[in-house]
């Protein structure tokens, strides 16, 4: 069946010209020529959205989203509330129930709009996942060539041996030119992101043209599907050492997942989304999606080099003042400029990394790392976790974010996201926690909590732990040094965490965070304050009712 007949039968789409499985180069040129929409709040709705740099097709595509949606529209993200999934979904503000009696009419309006108004659609046939036992065939259908290029980067373009593709295929239908009418369509606003498990579709409409929506929607789908197979989906990076042992690193945005997994001495499995199956760790994706704000090119040379490679997408980095993008080398872009958004992003294929594990997979992990960027400056730089602590910190998913950027008024804020990715966890947190406990126990995986945040005081007083010291602690954990029989520990009297008293390459006095503060009482007060936040989050989420032990109780 040809692609036109296929789309007409599956989606009712038969009006636009179809561009099927274009190369990255062709998508690059189509994006510049055809992607139009709003890029300024006070601008027209048909401005150019994609641009070349001085490197032309040999360099990145620079794309600008609708200025009102420069990140995931969490309040506009839904799952269709079909009876067969109602009791399985973790309904929450990030994944709301969409009325089942509204979805078919909305589909029909969107396809009628596309047939009447969309001059062209870009269609890319891909896969989400590298292993045939869980991977799903994925068809991207959308109005923007940029989104098709992003999907080609972020999903797997080669065959992974999936059987019965047509019966398993999921479809993303991305239509930025269609604006919902909330009262009529059942949406909250003019845009929507709707996951429909019964029909294996993701519908994205309106101003929600942030590229990351496409990948995170499918991550949510896989987070729903895999637990039924006994596999653990993870918001984590992963890599393999020269000794053949693998590691997984969980963490929220800004904690160092991408940076720490991109290690020249280790092979990359992936930087963000993985499955822990019966055979080991496997990447969901064919690419990486890194934050660019304040990128340190010396500390992150892999990402820096990829900025100048073809087939990549730079998102919402402003032009250099007074210079056209066509005259700008991508290395000259100001990566500290957050005038559009703090959430500037960069999509690049796995092949941009100098060393990638064959098949983007590895054995069962020898080491599991929870990353947290504690801006309060009170958590130990590194702690060794027992099984109860692993589950507690997994469902807590803590990091500390900065409330703003103005000098003198910025205060750290605690952020808790269960499983280090609550918005994308389609099932209750206990489902993933139980799977993690089983996997860790079965593989005898060593587990640590690694603080990539502040020491010597909170943000504004102390200093951020250097990438050099963080890598020293991570490497010690990967070698097994922190779990060695001759290692000695101190137990933190407030958090109950077990702190190694020595780590190669790290000053001993730094390993106990209290000793790095000038004011010991101020440290104790701030540590108790953070502990109270952990306890409150645990109680608010009712994790105790799920049989999870509160390791910070008392």
From 184, 211, 229, give the residue that closes a domain.
Answer: 229
Whether 462 is covered by a domain: the verdict is yes
Max mean pLDDT range (101-115, 343-357, 395-409): 101-115
The pLDDT confidence band at residue 403, using thresholds 50, 70 and 90, is very low
Whether 508 is covered by a domain: the verdict is yes
Q: Is-contact 290 258, C-beta < 8 A?
A: yes
Whether 343 is covered by a domain: the verdict is no
The pLDDT confidence band at residue 72, using thresholds 50, 70 and 90, is very high
Q: Is-contact 261 285, C-beta < 8 A?
A: no
Residues identified as active-site? 72, 216, 235, 253, 257-258, 272, 345
Distance CA 378, CA 313 (A): 37
Identify any residues that bridge with 287 across adjacent strands, giving them in sequence order.
349
Whether 240 is covered by a domain: the verdict is no
| Predicted local distance difference test score (pLDDT) of residue 473 | 98
Q: For the chain, percent helix, then strand, then coil, each to nearest 5?
A: 35, 25, 45
Mean of pLDDT over the chain: 94
The pLDDT confidence band at residue 264, using thresholds 50, 70 and 90, is confident
Whether 506 is covered by a domain: the verdict is yes
Q: Any idea what the CATH number is for the domain that residue 412 is in?
A: 3.90.228.20
Assess whether pLDDT exceeds 50 at residue 375: yes
How much of the chain exceeds pLDDT 90, in percent? Answer: 90
| Predicted local distance difference test score (pLDDT) of residue 405 | 33
Q: Could you give the 3-state DSSP secondary structure of residue 368?
A: strand
239-262 pLDDT tens trace: 999 999 999 999 998 888 888 888
Torsion angle of the four alpha carbons 428, 431, 437, 439, in this order, in degrees rounded to the nearest 10: -130
Our measurement of the distance from residue 525's CA atom to the centroid of its chain's CA atoms, rounded to an integer in Å, reads: 33
Q: CA 300, 301, 302, 304 torsion: positive or negative?
A: positive
Choice among 349-358, 428-437, 446-455 with the minimum mean pLDDT: 349-358
| Predicted local distance difference test score (pLDDT) of residue 406 | 32
| Predicted local distance difference test score (pLDDT) of residue 493 | 95
The pLDDT confidence band at residue 370, using thresholds 50, 70 and 90, is very high
Residues 81-88: contacts with CB under 8 Å, at least 24 apart: 82/197, 82/198, 84/198, 85/197, 85/198, 85/224, 88/224, 88/426, 88/427
Choice among 47-61, 79-93, 294-308 with the minimum mean pLDDT: 294-308
Whether 405 is covered by a domain: the verdict is yes
454-511 pLDDT tens trace: 999 999 899 999 999 999 999 999 999 999 999 999 999 999 999 999 999 999 999 9
Distance CA 86, CA 80 (A): 9
109-133 pLDDT tens trace: 999 999 999 999 999 999 999 999 9
- Per the structure, the count of domains in the chain is 2
From 203, 229, 255, give the residue that closes a domain.
Answer: 229
From 229, 248, 268, give the residue that closes a domain.
Answer: 229
> Containing domain of residue 124, as a range?
3-26+34-50+74-229
| Predicted local distance difference test score (pLDDT) of residue 396 | 97
Distance CA 24, CA 3 (A): 19
Cβ-based neighbours of 158, under 8 Å, separated by 6 or more:
127
How much of the chain exceeds pLDDT 70, in percent? Answer: 98
Q: What is the mean pLDDT of residues 213-229?
A: 97
Helix (H), strand (E) counts: the chain: 13, 30
Our measurement of the distance from residue 136's CA atom to the centroid of its chain's CA atoms, rounded to an integer in Å, reads: 19
CB burial of 397-413 (b: ≥16 within 10 Å; e: otherwise) equals bbbbeeeeeeeeeeebe
126-154 pLDDT tens trace: 999 999 999 999 999 999 999 999 999 99
Distance CA 426, CA 93 (A): 12
| Predicted local distance difference test score (pLDDT) of residue 407 | 35
pTM for the full model? Answer: 0.94
| Predicted local distance difference test score (pLDDT) of residue 254 | 80
Whether 269 is covered by a domain: the verdict is no
508-538 pLDDT tens trace: 999 999 999 999 999 999 999 999 999 999 9
Q: Any idea what the CATH number is for the domain that residue 204 is in?
A: 3.40.449.10
Whether 431 is covered by a domain: the verdict is yes
Q: CA 476, 480, 481, 482 torsion: positive or negative?
A: positive
Assess whether pLDDT exceeds 60 at residue 410: no
């Amino acid at each position: 069946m040809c692609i036109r007949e296929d789309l007409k039968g599956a989606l009712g789409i038969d009006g636009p010209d179809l561009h099927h499985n274009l190369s990255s180069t062709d998508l690059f040129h189509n994006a510049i020529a055809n992607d139009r929409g709003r890029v300024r709040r006070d601008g027209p709705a048909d401005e150019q959205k994609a641009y070349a740099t001085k490197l032309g097709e040999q360099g990145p595509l620079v794309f600008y989203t609708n200025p009102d949606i420069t990140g995931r529209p969490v309040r506009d993200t839904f799952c269709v509330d079909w009876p067969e999934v109602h009791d399985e979904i973790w309904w929450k503000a990030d994944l709301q129930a969409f009325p089942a009696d509204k979805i078919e009419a909305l589909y029909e309006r969107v396809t009628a709009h596309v047939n009447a108004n969309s001059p062209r659609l870009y269609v890319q046939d891909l896969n989400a996942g590298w292993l045939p036992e869980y991977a799903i065939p994925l068809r991207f259908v959308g109005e923007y060539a940029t989104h098709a290029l992003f999907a080609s980067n972020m999903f797997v373009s080669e065959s992974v041996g999936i059987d019965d593709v047509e019966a398993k295929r999921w479809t993303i239908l991305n239509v930025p030119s269609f604006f919902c009418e909330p009262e009529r369509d059942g949406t909250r606003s003019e845009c929507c992101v709707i996951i429909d498990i019964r029909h294996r579709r993701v519908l994205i409409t309106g101003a929600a043209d942030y590229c990351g929506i496409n990948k995170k929607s499918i991550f949510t789908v896989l987070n729903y599907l895999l637990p039924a197979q006994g596999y653990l989906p993870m918001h984590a990076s992963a890599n393999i050492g020269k000794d053949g042992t693998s590691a997984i690193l969980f963490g929220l945005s800004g904690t160092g997942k991408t940076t720490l997994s991109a290690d020249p001495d280790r092979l990359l499995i992936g930087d963000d989304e993985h499955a822990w199956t019966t055979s080991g760790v496997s990447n969901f994706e064919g690419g990486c999606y890194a934050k660019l704000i304040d990128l340190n090119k010396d500390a992150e040379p892999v990402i820096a080099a990829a900025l100048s490679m073809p087939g990549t997408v730079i998102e919402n980095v402003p032009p250099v003042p007074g210079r056209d993008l066509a005259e700008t080398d991508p290395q000259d872009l100001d990566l500290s400029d957050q005038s559009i958004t703090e959430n500037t992003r960069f999509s690049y294929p796995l092949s941009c990394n100098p060393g990638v594990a064959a098949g983007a997979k590895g054995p069962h992990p020898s080491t599991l790392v929870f990353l947290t960027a504690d801006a309060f400056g009170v958590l130990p730089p590194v702690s060794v976790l027992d099984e109860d602590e692993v589950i507690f910190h997994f469902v807590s998913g803590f990091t500390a974010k900065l409330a703003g950027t103005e000098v003198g008024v910025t205060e750290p804020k605690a952020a808790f996201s269960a499983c280090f990715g609550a918005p994308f966890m389609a099932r209750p947190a206990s489902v993933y926690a139980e799977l993690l406990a089983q996997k860790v126990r079965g593989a005898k995986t060593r587990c640590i909590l690694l603080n990539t945040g502040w020491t010597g005081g909170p943000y504004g007083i102390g200093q951020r732990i250097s990438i050099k010291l963080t890598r020293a602690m991570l490497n010690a954990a990967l070698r097994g040094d922190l779990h060695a029989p001759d290692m000695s520990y101190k137990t933190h009297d407030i958090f109950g965490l077990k702190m190694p008293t020595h780590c190669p390459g790290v000053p001993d006095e730094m390993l106990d965070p209290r000793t790095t503060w000038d004011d010991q009482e101020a440290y104790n007060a701030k540590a108790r304050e953070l502990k109270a936040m952990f306890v409150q989050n645990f109680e608010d989420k009712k994790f105790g009712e799920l049989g999870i032990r509160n390791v910070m109780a008392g």
